[in-house]
């Protein structure tokens, strides 16, 4: 099981300053996670085939084709300002 010392060590490695209450909480949380993982390990998986996904899916690629797009002039007519080829936006200083 996971001990408070291990949680403190992980917190130190992560440069986290945890209170005693947080250490207690994370210790309990880690115990629950380890118990859950152990319960998964104890499942009978005989006859179950390996799978990367729940569904049989695969990539479906389409042919890369040039298609007609929107009319640039029509799109730019809705812009508050443009340079004739693209929207013009005010510069932003940070």
pLDDT at 18: 95
**Is the pTM of the predicted complex or chain greater than 0.85?**
no
Q: 3-class SS at 70?
A: coil
pLDDT at 84: 86
**How many CB atoms are closer than 10 A to CB 21?**
8
Q: How confident is the model at residue 4 (pLDDT cuts 50, 70, 90)?
A: very high
pLDDT at 59: 79
Burial environment of residue 44 by CB neighbours within 10 A (0 to 12, 13 to 18, 19 or more):
exposed
Domain ranges of the chain: 4-41
Tell which residue, 63, 62, 58, 2, has the closest CA to residue 28: 2
pLDDT in tens, 24-63: 999 999 999 999 999 998 899 899 888 877 887 777 888 8
pLDDT in tens, 68-91: 889 989 989 988 898 888 999 888
pLDDT at 1: 78
Q: Which CATH architecture has domain 4-41?
A: Orthogonal Bundle (1.10)
| Integer Cα distance of 2 and 31 in angstroms | 6
CB hemisphere CA count around 27 (13 angstroms):
16
């Amino acid at each position: 099981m996971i001990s408070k010392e291990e949680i403190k060590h992980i917190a130190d490695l992560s440069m986290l300053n945890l209170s005693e209450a947080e250490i207690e909480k994370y210790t309990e949380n880690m115990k629950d996670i380890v118990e859950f993982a152990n319960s998964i390990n104890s499942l009978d998986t005989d006859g179950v085939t390996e799978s990367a996904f729940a569904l049989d899916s695969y990539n479906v690629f389409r042919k890369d084709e040039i298609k007609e797009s929107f009319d640039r002039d029509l799109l730019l007519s809705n812009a508050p300002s443009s340079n004739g080829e693209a929207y013009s936006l005010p510069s932003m200083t940070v």
